[in-house]
């Protein structure tokens, strides 16, 4: 009996061990490939932008000074903030003295005009006397040759002719002087007319009155300040500061998006690029013309972007591009396997990175955590929006 029990135990032990091993093998979990989020390379717009900040300034300020000194300001017709048209009356000066000066100039002109007529009459008289003296001289010479006139008579005739010639020349000079006096009187009359016209101060351009320094009763030309300062055509623009390293990318005509404090966002265009850089701040000052200046005032703070480049390109999520000392790369997923692909990346815009070369449109790349995988790794791709592989 003991021998039979021992044999049964000996046979039972191996069977029990084999059963336990089979159970252990069946309970071991299968190795599953990790899931990764992938996204296809797609075509999208990318932009290169340069940040700018500064203040709103006038495109062109026009200072209006009185063009005549002395008269007092008797009337002011506009205030700061008013819109004016070209030629609109801004203010008026006292015209009493200017009117009297014009009348005086007109009288002087009439007198000079009469002097010209008188000088012309003198010339006519002198010419007549000269003609008569020349005739007498000719007769006396003939008589002298015939022996019927004395030498003294001939000498007197010669002297009379010379005197008449001198008087004619003097009369011609007198006419020239009279004509010069007439021209001077005409100029004085025109100046007096201009001064009277200038008693009405008008806007030289259309625009907006920025400053009014004119005061009733003040004498025109009594101070150094302009009576009015106008914003020509109401045009404002941004005086923007830009860092020196970005100057090479800027050019006239580049579009801009500007946000003005209290007025919102408005489009613009680069009008002037910096010609120099401040050696202390390392900033250049550029001018950006605004498309619409409605509601925008001089002096307001503004900031925004100048768009230096804009194009359609192959792009991937910015997080899909890995970079180190060896360069830039992405992790491409094809048939469930990872391939590390060197690429040349370009612009970064709106969370996406431009791929200039190394990746074709539509290829799947690991959107996040690509640095944890190597070429040949098995993965289970899942779309970025949570859909299937």
Query: Per-residue pLDDT tens for 58-107?
Result: 999 999 999 888 899 999 999 998 999 999 999 999 999 899 999 999 99
Mean pLDDT score of the chain, rounded to an integer? Answer: 85
Query: Per-residue pLDDT tens for 321-345?
Result: 999 888 999 999 999 999 999 999 9
Mean pLDDT, to the nearest integer, of 204-208?
93
Query: Per-residue pLDDT tens for 73-84?
Result: 999 999 998 999
pLDDT at 4: 39
Distances (CA, A) of 370 to 328, 332, 388: 12, 9, 19
Q: Is 325 exposed, middle or buried (0-12, 13-18, 19+ CB in 10 A)?
A: exposed
Q: Quick check: 7 pLDDT over 50? A: no
**Closest by alpha carbon to 174, among 121, 131, 107?**
121
Mean pLDDT, to the nearest integer, of 264-287?
93
Separation of alpha carbons 153 and 171, rounded Å: 27
The region of weakest confidence among 16-20, 222-226, 366-370 is 16-20
Residue 19: pLDDT band by 50, 70, 90 thresholds? very low
For the whole model, what pTM was predicted? 0.63
**Between 1.10.150.170, 3.10.270.10, 1.10.3720.10, 2.40.420.20, what CATH number should domain 35-44+312-383 receive?**
2.40.420.20
Percent of the chain with pLDDT over 70: 89
Mean pLDDT, to the nearest integer, of 228-253?
92
What CATH architecture applies to the domain 61-94+199-230?
Beta Barrel (2.40)
DSSP-based helix, strand, coil % in the chain, nearest 5: 35, 35, 30
Mean pLDDT, to the nearest integer, of 342-367?
93
**Closest by alpha carbon to 182, among 244, 100, 120?**
120
Instruction: Check: CB of residue 369 under 8 Å from CB of residue 381.
Output: no
What CATH architecture applies to the domain 96-195?
Up-down Bundle (1.20)
Separation of alpha carbons 74 and 214, rounded Å: 10
Mean pLDDT, to the nearest integer, of 223-238?
89
Residue 211: pLDDT band by 50, 70, 90 thresholds? very high
Separation of alpha carbons 48 and 35, rounded Å: 34
Please tell me if the domain spanning 35-44+312-383 has the same topology as the one spanning 96-195: no
Percent of the chain with pLDDT over 90: 56
Which of 124 and 270 is assigned the larger pLDDT?
270
Q: Quick check: 131 pLDDT over 90? A: no
Domain boundaries, given as residue ranges, for the chain: 35-44+312-383, 61-94+199-230, 96-195
**Closest by alpha carbon to 43, among 351, 310, 311?**
311
Query: Per-residue pLDDT tens for 148-157?
Result: 777 777 677 7
């Amino acid at each position: 009996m003991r021998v039979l029990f021992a044999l049964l135990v000996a046979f039972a032990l191996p069977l029990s061990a084999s059963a336990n091993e089979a159970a252990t093998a069946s309970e071991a979990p299968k190795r599953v490939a990790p899931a990764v989020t992938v996204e296809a390379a797609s075509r999208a717009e990318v932009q290169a932008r340069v940040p700018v900040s500064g203040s709103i300034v006038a495109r062109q300020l026009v200072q209006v000074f009185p063009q005549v000194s002395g008269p007092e300001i008797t009337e002011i017709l506009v205030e700061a903030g008013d819109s004016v048209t070209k030629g609109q009356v801004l203010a008026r000066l006292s015209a009493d003295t200017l009117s009297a000066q014009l009348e005086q100039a007109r009288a002087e002109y009439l007198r000079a005009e009469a002097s010209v007529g008188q000088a012309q009459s003198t010339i006519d008289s002198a010419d007549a006397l000269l003609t008569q003296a020349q005739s007498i001289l000719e007769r006396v010479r003939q008589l002298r040759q015939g022996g019927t006139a004395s030498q003294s008579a001939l000498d007197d005739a010669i002297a009379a002719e010379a005197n008449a010639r001198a008087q004619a020349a003097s009369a011609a000079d007198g006419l020239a002087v009279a004509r010069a006096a007439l021209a001077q009187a005409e100029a004085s009359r025109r100046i007096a007319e201009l001064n009277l016209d200038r008693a009405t101060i008008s806007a030289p351009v259309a625009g907006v009155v920025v400053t009014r320094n004119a005061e009733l009763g003040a004498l025109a030309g009594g101070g150094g300040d302009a009576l009015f300062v106008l914003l020509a055509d109401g045009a404002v623009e941004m005086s923007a500061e830009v860092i020196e390293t970005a100057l090479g990318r800027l050019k006239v005509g580049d579009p801009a998006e500007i946000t003005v404090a209290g007025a919102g966002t408005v489009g613009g265009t680069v009008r002037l690029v910096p010609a120099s850089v401040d050696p202390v701040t390392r900033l250049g000052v550029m001018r950006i013309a605004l498309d619409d200046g409605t509601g925008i005032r001089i002096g307001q703070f503004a900031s925004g972007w100048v768009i230096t480049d804009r194009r359609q390109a192959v792009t991937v999520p910015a997080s899909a591009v890995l970079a180190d000392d060896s360069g830039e790369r992405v992790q491409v997923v094809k048939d469930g396997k990872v391939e590390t692909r060197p690429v040349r990346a370009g612009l970064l815009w709106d969370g996406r990175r431009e791929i200039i070369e190394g990746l074709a449109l539509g290829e799947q790349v690991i959107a996040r955590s690509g640095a944890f995988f190597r070429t040949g790794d098995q993965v289970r791709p899942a779309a970025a929006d949570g859909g299937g592989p």
